[in-house]
A and B are shown apart, each in its own frame.
Chain A
Amino acid sequence: MSVLTPTMTSPEAAGARRALLERLHDWVVTVDHKRLGIMYVVAGFGFLVIAGAEATMMRVQLAWPGLHVVSPETFNRLFTMHGTTMVFLFGIPVVFGFGNYLVPLMIGARDLAFPRLNAFGFWAFLFGGLLLHFSVIGGDGLYGAGSAPAVGWFAYAPLTGRAFTPGNATDYWNLSILVTGIGTIATAVNLVTTTLTMRGPGMTLGRLPIFVWVMLTVSAMTLVILPPLSAAQIMLLLDRYLGAHFFDTQAGGSAVMWQHFFWFFGHPEVYVLMLPGFGFVSEIIPVFSRKVIFGYATIVAATVSIGAVSLSVWAHHMFAVGMGAPLNSFFALSTMLIAVPTGIKIFNWLATMYGGSLRFETPMLFCCAFLFQFLCAGLTGVMLGVAPFNWQLTDTYFVVAHFHFVLVGSLLFTIFAAIYYWFPKVTGRMLSERLGRWHFWLLVIGFNMTFITMHGQGVLGMPRRIYTYQADRGWEIWNLVTTLGVPLQIVAVLLFVVNVIVSLRSGQRAGDDPWDAWTLEWATTSPPPPYNFETVPVTTSRRPLWDLKHPDDPDGPHE
Chain B
Amino acid sequence: MAKYVCPICGYVYDEAAGRPEDGIAPGTPWQALSEDWVCPLCGAPKSVFEGQSKPEVKSTPASGVMEPQEEPLRELSVGELAALCTNLAKGCEKQYRAEEAELFMQLAAYYEKRIPKGEARDFTQLLTLIDQELNNEYPAAKEAATANRDRGSLRALVWGEKVSRILTSLLGKFDKQGDALLNGTNIYVCEICGFVYVGNEPPEICPVCKVPNLKISMIAKEAV
Chains A and B bind each other: no
